[in-house]
């Protein structure tokens, strides 16, 4: 984290999102119903999903920060991906129901421009959403939390949706298109379904031990290569565990070093990565003789020789078996 205040924001982002979005959801439903704006009522779904997301952030962060135990020897970091998956599936289900009703209203053809109070509500919601988008995006970047990233994406979509609602109401009043508000409601539903699918896909990706981004892997390789005593970086394996990145790498060292000296180089590599790569949760640096070194070439030559001997033994055995099968059974006639 870049600043000490990030810890405060990290601990409070769930509560701020929960309280703010509960208030916005109630406001949108109330104003949407009294003003006759279908788009504003559907827009309350954006805040409702943010309420669910914020609640799951509070629960998910609490679970994911539990210490390692006998039953969970790699921690509880995947809890956030599970909760993100629940949010995505819930969004798709509820939005599908709203999409059905919005499409029915459009087909019926009875449209009336909503009251202008819905316009001012949409403008207010837009301002709040812009603030929350930048706030949650900052927290998500600093702590690398999948759930806070989801909340940030939601707040951004809330702002876009509020802007679309405001445009729909203006079009209904001043452009002679009373059906535009319902069209905006349908487009919001389709957007929510898309967001839900995106969240589900990212959650499944995380649950299946997705590797860290390629730029992070290259940074790990570059930093490990700069450590004194590292001849080569043979292999890097990463996986995302909640907010953290777990790393296993194999470094090549001078074959003339003692085991203790090679271990010290491995420790230096681990310290280097923990210090300069954000969100590192666990690092394991293993060592071997560097590729192309004399001991490695000797080992390869021994393996080739053993394999050649094995083939020769198989050939001799096969020849003996063939010779035995060719001997006459009844003996030689006199």
pLDDT digits (tens, 9 = 90+) for 210-253: 788 889 999 999 999 999 999 889 899 998 776 678 899 999 88
Mean pLDDT of the chain: 79
DSSP string across 52-104? HHHHHHHHHHHHHTSPP-SS-TT-STTHHHHHHHHHHHHHHHHHHHHHHHHHH
Comma-separated ranges of CATH 1.20.1510.10 domains in the chain? 5-207
- For the segment 35-54, the average pLDDT, to the nearest whole number, is 79
pLDDT at position 124, please? 93
pLDDT at position 3, please? 55
Burial of 120 (0-12, 13-18, 19+ CB in 10 A): middle
pTM of the full structure? 0.57
Fold entry, domain 214-289: Alpha-Beta Plaits (3.30.70)
User: What are 63-84's pLDDT values in tens digits?
Assistant: 656 666 666 555 666 777 787 7
Comma-separated ranges of CATH 3.30.70.1350 domains in the chain? 214-289
The answer, yes or no, to whether residue 27 has pLDDT greater than 70, is yes
- For the segment 134-150, the average pLDDT, to the nearest whole number, is 78
User: What are 81-127's pLDDT values in tens digits?
Assistant: 787 788 788 888 888 887 887 787 777 766 778 888 988 998 999 99
pLDDT at position 162, please? 86
Hey, which CATH number is domain 5-207, 2.60.40.1760, 1.10.3720.10, 1.20.1510.10, 1.10.600.10?
A: 1.20.1510.10
pLDDT at position 58, please? 73
Give yes or no for a contact between 136 and 13, defined as CB atoms under 8 angstroms apart: yes
The answer, yes or no, to whether residue 294 has pLDDT greater than 60, is no
């Amino acid at each position: 984290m870049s600043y000490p205040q990030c810890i405060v924001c990290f601990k409070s982002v769930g509560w701020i999102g929960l309280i703010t979005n509960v208030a916005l959801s109630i406001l949108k439903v109330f104003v949407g119903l009294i003003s006759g704006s279908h788009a504003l009522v559907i827009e309350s779904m954006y805040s409702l999903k943010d309420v669910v997301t914020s609640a799951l952030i509070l629960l998910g962060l609490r679970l994911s920060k539990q210490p390692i135990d006998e039953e969970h020897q790699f921690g509880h970091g995947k809890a956030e991906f599970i909760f993100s998956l629940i949010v995505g599936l819930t969004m798709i289900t509820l939005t599908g129901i709203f999409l059905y009703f919005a499409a029915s209203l459009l087909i019926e053809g009875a449209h009336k421009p909503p009251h202008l109070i819905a316009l001012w509500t949409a403008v207010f919601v837009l301002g709040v959403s812009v603030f929350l988008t930048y706030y949650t995006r900052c927290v998500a970047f600093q702590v690398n939390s999948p759930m806070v990233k989801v909340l940030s994406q939601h707040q951004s979509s809330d702002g876009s949706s509020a802007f679309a609602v405001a445009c729909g109401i203006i079009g209904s009043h001043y452009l002679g298109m009373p059906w535009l508000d319902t069209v905006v409601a349908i487009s919001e539903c389709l957007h929510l379904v898309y967001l839900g699918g995106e969240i589900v896909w990212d959650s499944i990706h995380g649950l299946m031990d997705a590797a860290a981004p390629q730029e992070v892997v290259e940074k790990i390789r570059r930093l490990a290569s700069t450590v004194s005593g590292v001849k080569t970086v043979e292999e890097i394996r990463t996986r995302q565990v909640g907010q953290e990145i777990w790393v296993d790498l194999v470094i090549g060292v001078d074959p003339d070093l003692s085991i203790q000296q090679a271990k010290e180089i491995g420790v230096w590599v681990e310290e280097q990565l923990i210090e300069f790569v954000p969100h590192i949760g666990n690092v394991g640096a293993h060592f071997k003789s560097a590729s192309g070194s004399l001991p490695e070439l000797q080992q390869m030559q021994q393996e080739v020789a053993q394999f050649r001997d094995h083939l020769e033994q198989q050939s001799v055995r096969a020849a003996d078996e063939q010779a035995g099968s060719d001997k006459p059974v009844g003996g030689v006639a006199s």
